[in-house]
Amino acid sequence: MTNAASTATQPGRSATSEAVRRLPEYLMIWVPLLLSAAHLISFSIWTIWISFTPSTLIPVSGWVGLRNYTAVLASRNWQIAFDNLLLFGIAFVLLSLITGLLLAILLDQRIRGENVLRTIFLYPLAVSFVVTGTVWSWLLNPGIGIEKLAHDLGWTAFHFDWLVNRDMAIWTIVIAAIWQSSGFAMALFLAGLRSVDADIIKAAQIDGAGPIRTYWRVILPTLWPITITVVVIQLQFAISAFDLVRALTNGGPGIATQLPALVVYDLMFQRSQLGRGAAAAVLMLLILLAVLLPYAAWRYVQRRQANHA
């Protein structure tokens, strides 16, 4: 502690009693920080270690090399989960970006009731994924949801059975996820739009640029850093998505909407395949790192440029 040097020990007090007096301080600083840091490091290392052992029902030591990894990678469950993650990740991120940007641009037009609208677009974020998934599972269920409503209203040719259709079920997760978190993209984009220098916009308008041209050429290019941040955070959510799928489709029909997080849970707690479950968790981490490391590098370059400017 640097403050030990500045706060001189009072005369008549020994160094020991000084340390005792300051014990609560040390405890309050170090215990939570060290608990947090230590559990993150040790838990991660432990899971990585288990992924190389033949553990099934209980953790055991031993070394099986990459056998758990090859088993997971070769399983149909994981292959479907990975393909789904690619589709879900890309579709969800792109569509929520487009929706969020569109909403932000519309709200940026000085419209009446902006506060109310912003509140409406953001409230799904306050609701749990379990609730979101449950509600959308009702709406999208052909027997009781939108399809049934259309049939009751006399439109019997209407067909919307994605929830129970193997090929389309993953899109129901995309729909619910967009409903849940496009407001987040909107909030960040709106903050970005509002921070664009008004003088630059005015200058563009004086040069005769119309609103669309002004947005396209002047305003939107400034949103790149925000866009990248939104993409990374939404991808992070997509990679670890669990509750939403559990509540909406529970991975079904069959295993059509399987995602990596569900595979991990299934291996660890339903099939008692601890080694394979840990391997699947490490694979999730690797997918995440494939997104986060380039982002961290980009942030680093940005910061350096900002410092040099």
Partner 1 sequence: MRDRSFTPGRILIYLVVTLFAAGYLAPLVVVVLNSLRTNEEIAQGSMIGWPQHLAWGNYALAWSGFCVAETCSGIRPYMLNSALITIPATIVSTLLGAVAGYAVSLWRFRGDNWIYGIVTLGLFLPQQMRLLPWTIVLRDIGLINTLTGLVLIHTIQGLSFTVLFCRNYYIAIPHELIRAARIDGAGFFRIFWRIILPLSSPILIVTVIWQFTHIWNEFLFGVTFTTGQQQPVTAALIALSAAVADIPQHGVQSAAVIIAALPTLLIYLFGGRYFVRGLTAGAVK
* Residue from 23, 41, 98, 200 in contact with partner 1 (CB under 8 A): 41
CB under 8 A: which stretch of 72-80, 81-89, 137-145, 166-174 binds partner 1? 137-145
* Residue from 19, 23, 60, 130 in contact with partner 1 (CB under 8 A): 130
Contacts of 180 (CB under 8 A, 6+ apart): 124, 125, 127, 129, 132, 244
HSE of 131, CA atoms in CB hemisphere, 13 A = 7
Sign of the Cα torsion 80, 86, 88, 91 reads negative
**101 vs 183: CA distance, rounded Å:** 10
* Residue from 63, 110, 208, 305 in contact with partner 1 (CB under 8 A): 110
* Min dist. Cβ of residue 305 to partner 1 (A): 17
User: Using CB under 8 A, which residues numbered 284 to 303 contact partner 1?
Assistant: 284-285, 288, 292
User: Using CB under 8 A, which residues numbered 214 to 273 contact partner 1?
Assistant: 229-230, 233, 236, 239-240, 242-243, 246-247, 261, 264-265, 268-269
**118 vs 98: CA distance, rounded Å:** 16
Nearest alpha-carbon partner for 103 in 111, 250, 35: 111
The CB density around residue 303, as the number of other CB atoms within 10 Å, is: 10
* Residue from 211, 221, 254, 294 in contact with partner 1 (CB under 8 A): 211
78 is a contact residue toward partner 1 (CB under 8 A):
no
* Min dist. Cβ of residue 83 to partner 1 (A): 19
Of residues 256 and 288, the one with the C-beta less far from partner 1: 288
